[in-house]
A and B are shown apart, each in its own frame.
Chain A
């Protein structure tokens, strides 16, 4: 990816020469290979169970790529990310059920509502310190879930079920598991690509700048509040559309799907994969969503394991397992802001 490194970065010597493995991992074709792998997977195994797991994993990748915009690019900790997914899923479910529309026609309403949710929650808090944002998003996630649990329009604790499929054209019904899987994979691929491209755009560079040093960014003429709000809104859109896919996949939505654990798992995918690096995030999301399926014996202990892993990774490698290039904190220790660089700064 060397030719894609942000041009804003001064050329910098990075540790030892790039090994063959990391060159392979950073090749431009990797994304296409992954997409091909995802598209070919049903030819290997297409049991309903396998399709179910793979579709769930694909939706999880979508969520992680959305959260990556907020946490990875912009450095804002969002602990209530599934709230946006809930807003999307409930909006889509309620509208399509009451008007008997295919889910796809509810997307404009979903977009409007998730952006609105992002504005409501981000607007007042993004001016504050980032830790306040973290806890407010956590509270927001809980409020969303409790509200869904208590209202009648959302079906209370049992939620809404019997949601129509995504779309039906002639004989091709997107409700069919295999078709839905392909649609999901393609949609997710588009959004992952979009998220990666966003990170390289002018706005993406502004996000990184805000993440690294907000005051300096502001001094350079970046409207930090606006830029942060945009990150938040983009994250909300990704989450909301992920929610639509989720509703299409399960054809049912209930408050139990939007507990804090889900937000935390998406966050882990982003953090463990490497904040800001879309490839890492996709791999992290796949690992987090597939490992429990592969290692059933791990059972309830997997969350303990994930929690410990999170601490260990943060202590020894605060930038994530596979961070984006140029994120390594190589600043010499100076002000109070930076301190010592993370333990494993070169591999």
Chain B
């Protein structure tokens, strides 16, 4: 039981990290960024490339190296997100929603098969794997890497929350989410803020990618597809556009999966996420924390 809660918490923090980017972008420009899961994949591959080029890293330094690589990967995926926004999404802002959605699918496709063309279609083994002692807490097996990764994830989320609540850019983001035109009239540089939103969201997804690579040890070019879907589910569960909701939704989804897997078997794991998604969209499309009424298209 404790084991299940812990597993749910751990997987959920990954989902939350990715769901944040989905939710931020959706909250601000009402775009479903399908490519977000692939940014996560891109992060994992950038981390892979950096670590491989660093060569052999002694085990004692692997955590330091990983943190450095994490930062660089976040910068690079963040820039990739900005580039994508600039080239693909900005020209379509204000276009029919269908066009923007299809573009997002196209971007997702390009990222997946672009990485596949460069890095090859076969799964790669991540050069650094976090090793660490396993200890028992209340009957649950908890390993050191899990704790480290969760601390990193929690740190990033707290930093993001502070940024959005306390800084002027964060206030600008919230204001654009409420009313873009009014924000424009109030002198907010809407484009700059949107760019920054994409940067932050993509950087978080990239961080999650590197962490997942280091934890699971294997990466492939389609790894972002399912997790992107699940992160979206998490965002919807928590209330899309709501930052705290995305974190909460990630954890809830993690629990649902952990318990569902326990009761029904691992091969149905992915089905739960989508079943929960459909259930939520039917019964409570605004999510747990969402207040705003779902608007019509």
Residues of A within 8 A of B (CB): 71, 75, 77, 79, 121, 124-125, 128-132, 134-136, 138-140, 142-143, 146-147, 149-150, 211, 214-215, 260, 264, 267, 271, 275, 300-301, 303-304, 306-311, 314-315, 318, 329, 336-340, 342
Contacts and interface: CB of A to CB of B under 8 A. Distances in A.
A132 B297 CA distance: 10
Given A129-B294, A134-B101, A303-B109, 10 more contacts: A130-B297, A136-B277, A142-B229, A142-B274, A143-B274, A304-B116, A309-B106, A310-B103, A314-B100, A329-B96
B158 interface: no
Interface size band for B: 35 or more
B237 to A, nearest CB: 13
Contacts of B135: none
B108 A307 contact: yes
B216 interface: no
Q: Give the one of B101, B121, B236, B273 with max A CB within 10 A.
A: B101
B113 interface: yes
Interface in B64-103: 87-88, 91-103
Contacts of B295: 129
Interface of B: 30, 32, 87-88, 91-103, 105-114, 116-117, 121, 181, 225-226, 229, 232-233, 236, 267-268, 270-271, 273-275, 277-278, 281-282, 285, 294-297
A79 to B, nearest CB: 7
A337 B94 CA distance: 6
A139 B92 contact: no
B181 to A, nearest CB: 7
Nearest to A319: B99
B32 A135 contact: yes
A124 B271 contact: no
A311 B106 contact: yes
B271 A214 contact: no
B117 A307 contact: no
A128 B281 contact: yes
Given A271-B102, A338-B94, A306 B109 contact: yes
Contacts of A71: 98
Given A303-B109, A307-B109, A130 B98 contact: yes
A142 B232 CA distance: 14
A310 B101 CA distance: 11
Contact of A300 (B105, B116, B233, B268): B116
A292 to B, nearest CB: 13
A345 to B, nearest CB: 12
A264 B295 CA distance: 27
A24 to B, nearest CB: 28
A124 B282 contact: yes
B90 to A, nearest CB: 9
Nearest to A310: B106
Nearest to A123: B282
A136 B281 contact: yes
A71, A146, A267, most chain B CB atoms within 10 A = A146
